Amino acid sequence: MKPELPPWTGLILAGGYSRRMGTDKALLSWHGQPQVVHLTDLLRAQGAAEVLVSCRPDQVAPFQALGLRPLPDLVPNLGPLGGLLSCFRAHPERACLSVAVDLPLLGAAALQALLEARQAGRPAMAFARPDGQGVDPLAALWEPIMGPLLEDAWQCGDLAPRRVLQRAGVFLLEPAEPDWLRNANTAEEALAIQQRIRALTGE
């Protein structure tokens, strides 16, 4: 890590209800273990000072049973914004690398790209959406300066992290692989992604 930059917390956004999938997306196994465990290992390998799992209170015990560090939202029902607020309130001096739990094809190369883009003066790094529609907030690196901006957004009733990134002047990266940001929200999408993983791994 660049020495002039603060350490960072890995934050896995896993507090959704997975209604369209019909089962908790955090516990789906894409790479031989629950996705939330897989992402924890990826973030630790990239140098996270700590990895936290943003979740609902009813998810705390299952995640603890997996040896993880759950972080229940301090303010419920805010979606990803709630997880980010809780992370910065816990560690306002650190940056936060947030990753949504429903990105099965996001791997070490994507995390490295975000980390390598860090520079003094850049408030945040995120990927541009492959469809050209601006910033994708599902995987982003937020420097400590973003904590107060997220608090301000919440106080103003703006719950969209994407807009907070845009207003702050996020540094946009083009994803080397569009599949990095490919969601798995339904059983049909899950099947398609499983087939893609098999093709990539040669299984």
User: Within the chain, where are the H helices?
Assistant: 35-45, 60-65, 80-90, 108-116, 146-155, 161-168, 187-201
Quote the pTM value. 0.92
Q: Is 9 helix (H, G, I), strand (E, B) or coil?
A: strand
Residues 66 and 62: their CA atoms lie apart, in Å, by 7
CB atoms within 10 A of CB 122: 16
pLDDT tens-digit map of 1-49: 445 899 999 999 997 665 656 577 888 888 889 999 999 999 999 999 9
What single-letter amino acid sits at 65? A
Mean pLDDT to the nearest integer, 49-61: 94
Tell whether the model's pLDDT for residue 151 goes beyond 80: yes
* Two tokens, residue 38: 């897989």
Structural domain of residue 96, as residue ranges?
8-201
Residues 6 and 165: their CA atoms lie apart, in Å, by 19
Tell whether the model's pLDDT for residue 106 goes beyond 50: yes
Q: Give the rounded percent of residues in the chain with a pLDDT score beyond 70.
A: 94
Angle between helices 80-90 and 146-155 (to 10 degrees): 130
Q: From residue 4, how far is each of 9, 93, 111, 118, 191 by CA, in Å?
A: 16, 13, 19, 10, 43
pLDDT at residue 1 in the model: 47
> Domain holding 169: CATH number?
3.90.550.10
3 belongs to a structural domain: no
Structural domain total, the chain: 1
Residues 54 and 12: their CA atoms lie apart, in Å, by 6
2 belongs to a structural domain: no
What single-letter amino acid sits at 54? S
126 belongs to a structural domain: yes
Q: Do residues 172 and 95 touch, judged by C-beta distance below 8 A?
A: no
